[in-house]
Amino acid sequence: MGQLGGLVHVIMQAWDTMVVTLAMLMPATVDAKIFQRCDLAMKLEEAGLNGFKGYTIGGLLCMAHYESGFDTSFVDRNPDGSSAYGIFQLNSTWRCDSGVTPTQNLCHMECHELFNRHILDDIMCAKQIVSSQNGMNTWDSWSQHYSGHDLSEWLKGCHMYAKPYTTEINS
């Protein structure tokens, strides 16, 4: 009975650890949101991103769509051990603190804060990235697929004041 009791104790500890881990993750995923294109466009416009540093909301929408599918809970694990989080896929090596990998934490936030529907902090971090030397080229998908293209289609059907510039700057 001694070995069986020890095994039960180990199983119970593992169960407790799993329950605590799930409880910590639950608030982040419960408040997650997959944005509709025009809803996200309006949030970006409200945050003053149309024309910010020469980029349009259409460009940001395009990038967010292909990076995360507009899903605030999206996480992409990278081969180097870092992860990219949230709607703009902000990397844990540079932008946020995952508590797992070393980080510069340039946006002064914990990565789990990027999982919720309240994306003002995500937008502020994205603004910081767009303002950096590499601009939108910080996102590999931008430089590979969208830079210099007509991205006005991303605003079609959205009732807003954003000007659908037909071309983005070439960074």
Average model confidence (pLDDT) across the chain: 83
Question: Does the pLDDT of residue 120 top 80, yes or no?
Answer: yes
Residue 141 lies in a domain: yes
DSSP code, position 144: I
- pLDDT at 163 (0 to 100): 58
Q: Which residues are catalytic?
A: 67
The 8 Å CB, 24+ separation contacts for 165-169 are 165/51, 165/56, 165/58, 168/54, 168/55, 168/56, 168/58, 168/59, 168/136, 169/54, 169/55
What confidence tier does 24 reach under pLDDT thresholds 50, 70, 90? very low
Residue 28 lies in a domain: no
pTM: 0.77
Strand partners, 34: 71
**Interatomic CA distance for residues 132 and 81, integer angstroms:** 24
Residue 164 lies in a domain: no
Q: Judge contact between 52 and 69, C-beta under 8 A.
A: no
Question: Beta-strand (E) ranges in the chain?
Answer: 75-77, 83-85, 90-91
What range defines the domain where residue 77 resides? 35-153
Residue 75 lies in a domain: yes
Residue 21 lies in a domain: no
CATH number reported for the structural domain that contains residue 148 in this entry:
1.10.530.10
Residue whose structure tokens are 């991303």: 154
Structural domain total, the chain: 1
- pLDDT at 114 (0 to 100): 94
